[in-house]
Amino acid sequence: MPYNLRKNRVLNYLLRKDCEVDDFGSDSDADEDACEVMSEEEAESDSSDSSDADVQISLTRKRALEASLRKSGRLVSILIGKNGYTWSLKFPNRSSDRSQVRSRTGLTPGPINEAANCNEIHEYWEILFTEKICQLVVDYTYLKIQLVLDEISKTGNTLQTYHHTTDLVEMNAFIGLLYHAEMWKANHVDPKHVFINAIPYKGKIQVKDGLIPEYLLRKVTEPIHGTHHSVTCDSWFTTIPLIEKMQKQPYDLTITGTIRSNKKEIPLEMKIAGEERTAKYCHHDSITLVSWTPKKKKKCISGFFLPTIYSN
């Protein structure tokens, strides 16, 4: 997907995201929502898990940095969280594998011949497996079924409801199930359980490693670990350390989600609501933090992993 479309998709997600966050069984009802009312004066004293002294230290550090940069004649381009986590206001330089391939070969990667006119996945598949080929599979499967049914009748056994011939529609559906089972590494799973992936929630649970939200996210996403798929979640799950952890092996997943503003990695500047329908961005390695103001004195903070290739 082109880079600019991917960025628009994330922005559209933020616009549609309901600002209220459901309670998934957290220990405290006083947790902040993903979207909250915030003025510039309130931001200087905001944090449900830190004292006024912590905020004052953050402000002092921020002002000292700004004074140092102004003295050297440079613009402020770095934001710092209360725990020292740094963000850059400059978007990283980006280069694409495709542009590199084009420069080396002079060719533009992409489908050719009949495939150049295809728009849907099944259209590409039908170029490899035409209707004629699929009909041959159905015909020879029919012959095999007839041999089995004849053998059952000869032995005096009763034919069951599942003893019947097949057709092209059923064969295509069966092939689709095979693709689905392989994609989810479920080729040895009972067909009744192929589409099931949930954890029964029975109240408070005990985990040996990490926090409960992190444990549940790892557990639910087990079928897609190592696939480089993208996972979208709300502020009960999303943290900066979790985004960093899930992009590494053995998980290899990208995370997009709203983040509560009391997290220590969030810079003070991102907690202050801006002009209505405006967004602020900052970056740390491959992670982008967005502070969106849908309406006056209201903000939504989201973070997401940006899978790009950076040039030197």
Query: What single string gives the DSSP state of each residue in 21-44?
Result: ----S-S-TTPPPSEEE--HHHHT
Share of the chain above pLDDT 90, in %: 6
pLDDT surpassing 50 at residue 47: no
The mean of the pLDDT values for the chain is 74
pLDDT surpassing 80 at residue 77: no
pLDDT band at 51, cuts 50/70/90? low
Would you state the torsion angle of the CA atoms of residues 279, 283, 223, 23, taken in this order, to the nearest 10 degrees?
A: -50
Q: What are phi and psi of 303, to 5 degrees?
A: -125, 150
pLDDT band at 27, cuts 50/70/90? very low
**Residue ranges with strand state E in 42-111:** 78-80, 86-88
Contact 294, 300 (CB under 8 A): yes
The token duo for 52 is: 């006024």
Contact 258, 302 (CB under 8 A): yes
> What average pLDDT does the segment 239-258 reach?
89
Top pLDDT among 229 and 180 is at 229
pLDDT surpassing 80 at residue 69: no
Short-list 201, 219, 241, 266, CA closest to 34:
266
pLDDT score at 9: 60
CB contact burial 89-126 (16+ within 10 A = b; e otherwise): eeeeeeeeeeeeeeeeeeeeeeeeeeeeeeeeeeeeeb
pLDDT score at 24: 44
What's the DSSP call for residue 150?
H
Would you state the torsion angle of the CA atoms of residues 55, 57, 61, 67, taken in this order, to the nearest 10 degrees?
A: 90
pLDDT per position as a tens digit, 119-148 = 888 888 889 888 899 999 999 999 999 999
pLDDT per position as a tens digit, 181-204 = 777 676 676 766 666 667 776 667
pLDDT per position as a tens digit, 82-98 = 788 888 877 776 655 55
Cβ count within 10 A of residue 220: 15
pLDDT score at 201: 64
pLDDT per position as a tens digit, 259-294 = 888 888 888 888 888 888 888 888 888 888 888 888
pLDDT surpassing 80 at residue 212: yes
Short-list 141, 234, 132, 223, CA closest to 182:
223
